[in-house]
Amino acid sequence: MDAPPATSEEIGALLAKARLLAVEYHRLTGKPLGITGEIGEFQAAQLLKLELAVAREAGYDAIDANGRRLQIKARAIPTAKKFAGRVGKIDLKKPWDAVLLIVMDEMFTPIVIFEAERDAITATLEAPGSKARNERGSLAVTKFMSIGRRVWPS
């Protein structure tokens, strides 16, 4: 027998507890707990009023009010290293229309959300140059921000 689907409030409460555990784990070990993506997806969906896709939907994580399929990438960045690091793999073979990048601080508090359209991402990933871009489908956070637009806070 399947359990009824969880409400947004239930998921939010659970992720709030998980966030506290992740912060404490990082403080104790210096390593991330590995839940940045889940926290980021949920927060982006809440802030931008998106409908999260079913778990493990190929290519996208949420759908906006216009039916656009959105991948959501999340980065928790210590304030001292603002906007350093890379965005996770973006697979051009999967179905999606745009990618959101939610940048959070070390406490998983959202700082900013950027959106980049598929055409801009494809052109950047396929441009000659970086092996990380061309072979792994990975962009620097700052590069993603330069080809995208800020959507939150608006």
| Residue 3 forms part of a structural domain | no
Q: Could you list the pLDDT tens digit for every one of the 154 residues in the chain?
A: 567 788 989 999 999 999 999 999 999 999 999 999 999 999 999 999 999 998 877 899 999 999 999 999 999 987 766 778 899 899 999 999 999 999 999 999 999 999 999 999 999 998 887 665 666 788 999 999 999 999 999 8
Say which CATH number the domain at 67 has: 3.40.210
Assigned domain for 13 exists: yes
The pTM is what? 0.91
Residue 2, domain member (yes or no): no
**Residue 124 located in a structural domain:** yes
Task: Write the CB contacts of 99 (distance below 8 Å, at least 6 apart in sequence).
Answer: 70, 71, 72, 73, 87, 90, 115, 116, 118, 121, 144, 148
Domain extent for 120: 8-152
Q: Which two structure tokens, joined as six digits, stand for 91?
A: 């697979």
57, part of any domain: yes
Number of domain units in the chain: 1
